[in-house]
Each structure stands twice: as structure tokens, then as C-alpha cells.
Amino acid sequence: MRKALVPDPDPLPDALASDIDLRLAARLASLRQERGLSLDELAGASGISRATLSRLERGDTSPTASLLGRLCTVYGRPMSRLLAEIEADPARLVREAEQAVWVDPETGFRRRGVSPPAHGFSAELVHGTLPTGAAISYEAPPVGGLEHHLWMLEGRLDLTLDGVTHALSPGDCLRYLLAGASRFSCPGPEARYLIAICRP
């Protein structure tokens, strides 16, 4: 069944295209090619328009968290793994100033890869910052059965899993298996949290 198309993101001016955006664009293009998918086939599987997919792969626009979530579901990999794959020189130790930060242009959500990117490991730490009033929804997990441990550091976060909302405050820790739809919403103040992600 063809998914409902999501709105196209705004074009990204050439001067604002970061190195991480360009590497991400190249990786998205290579993933589609590795699977032998046409843009039309990927559009049907992801619910993202063919034009938007083309712009994403050329680096003409920066993907939102929602768009990346849809693509990760099609490619069967967590977003953290996708972003780790575009790291040029993985290291065992990554200082805070060198940790990759990705910003969702739609919501202002900031995602910091705390764990050094590496292949062969099944767990990683991700630091998230969600501004007051922002919300991100995912229709499905990129990989069924992902184990998450979410530890709240500051602010408030409403995390909805399969229709059940968990109101989280600083110090709270929620452990869950990601199996269906999820929604991250910040009623305020700004939410800062760590997620330990363990692949099945």
C-alpha cells in the first residue's frame, strides 16, 4: 500500500549545506543504489515524493527527522547507525567537541552521537535536545525490537509509545522495546535526555 506523502522540506541554500549534509546525501543515494531501488520505488515504500528524494540525494535540501525516520525504516537501520556510517574516520575516543551533531531543520531537535561511531557494536548512546513546543512522530521503528533506555536529564518530555504516553521528568528512566509508532513531544521546558540504543 502506498503511504501518504509527507510535505517537502524547504530548499537548502548552497551556502548552508554542511559537510555532514553532503555526506548524508551521498550515503542516502548509495543505500538506494545498493538495494537496486528506483526513486519511484523508494517513493512508494517511504511515502516521500520522488522530487524530494532526488533533492535529498543531491544535497539540495536537509532531511527532517521525520523524513530520515521513514528512510531508516525502508533501509532497516536505526538513525544512529545511518549517521555513524557517514563518519569519515571512526575512533575509539571522541571528545565532546568532536561528537557529530545533527539538527532537524523542521523542529530544531538536536541529536548528538555520544558513542564513537564503530561497526560491530550493538549498543550506543545518543543525546537529544527537543525545544519547548516541538514534537517528532515516527510511524514505525527502523528496526523492530530495538531496546531503548531513555534517561531524562533536564526539562519535560512526553513520549508516546503505541498510544500510551509517558510524562518524563529529570531523573526518570524509561526502558522499552521499540515495536510500533512513537512520538516525542516537549511541553516545556526544553527536554534534554540520553538514549541507550541496543540493537536486537
Q: What is the pLDDT of residues 53-103, one digit of tens each?
A: 999 999 888 888 889 889 998 998 888 778 777 765 566 788 999 888 989
Query: What sign does the CA torsion over 14, 42, 185, 114 have?
Result: negative
Q: Please provide residue 113's backbone torsions phi and psi, each rounded to the nearest 5 degrees.
A: -80, 100
Q: How far apart are CA 70 and CA 196, in angstroms?
A: 21
Q: What is the pLDDT of residues 104-129, one digit of tens each?
A: 999 999 999 898 876 667 889 999 99
Q: pTM of the entire structure?
A: 0.66
